[in-house]
């Protein structure tokens, strides 16, 4: 029996993250959004998220973005530190993968 994809934003035809690791990645995103997310601006193929937290936030966001890009190369993440210990996280996908962005952002609730 096939296991359902734990990450609906990660199409099984292009995601290389092992199935057993997918719930852990979902939990990482959920934790980031729950603890740091302040605002979300959505577009059809891009989004801008503003996060705030402690001094380790930039490194945390960078590590998670790098990990996600390693298994789902269609994502482009741009991380911009903000003056107030915040981070702007830009997320972009190609038009052919526009359906995955809402699936990821649906987990983000400021």
CATH architecture for the domain at 19-105 = 2-Layer Sandwich (3.30)
Q: Which three-class secondary structure state does DSSP give residue 35?
A: helix
> Which of the four pLDDT bands, split at 50, 70 and 90, describes residue 85?
confident
> Which of the four pLDDT bands, split at 50, 70 and 90, describes residue 12?
low
The pLDDT, as a whole number, for residue 3 is 40
Mean pLDDT for the stretch of residues 65-82: 94
Mean pLDDT for the stretch of residues 73-91: 93
The pLDDT, as a whole number, for residue 9 is 64
Domain boundaries, the chain: 19-105
pTM as predicted: 0.86
Closest CA to 97 of 31, 3, 11: 11
Strands (E), the chain: 37-42, 46-52, 76-81, 86-92
Q: Which three-class secondary structure state does DSSP give residue 47?
A: strand
- As a dihedral over the C-alpha atoms of residue 54, residue 58, residue 61, residue 67, rounded to 10 degrees, the angle is -130
Question: Above pLDDT 90, what percent of the chain?
Answer: 55
> Which of the four pLDDT bands, split at 50, 70 and 90, describes residue 95?
very high
User: For all residues of the chain together, what is the average pLDDT?
Assistant: 87
How many Cβ atoms are within 10 Å of 97's Cβ, its own excluded?
16
């Amino acid at each position: 029996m096939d296991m359902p994809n734990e990450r609906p934003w990660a199409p099984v035809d292009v995601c290389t993250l092992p199935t057993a690791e997918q719930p852990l990645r979902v939990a990482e995103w959920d934790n980031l959004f729950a603890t740091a997310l302040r605002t979300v601006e959505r577009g059809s193929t891009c989004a801008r998220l503003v996060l705030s937290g402690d001094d380790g936030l930039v490194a945390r966001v960078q590590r998670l973005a790098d990990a996600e890009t390693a298994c789902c190369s269609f994502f482009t993440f741009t991380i911009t530190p903000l003056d107030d210990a915040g981070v702007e996280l830009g997320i972009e996908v190609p038009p052919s993968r526009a359906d995955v962005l809402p699936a990821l952002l649906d987990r983000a609730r400021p």
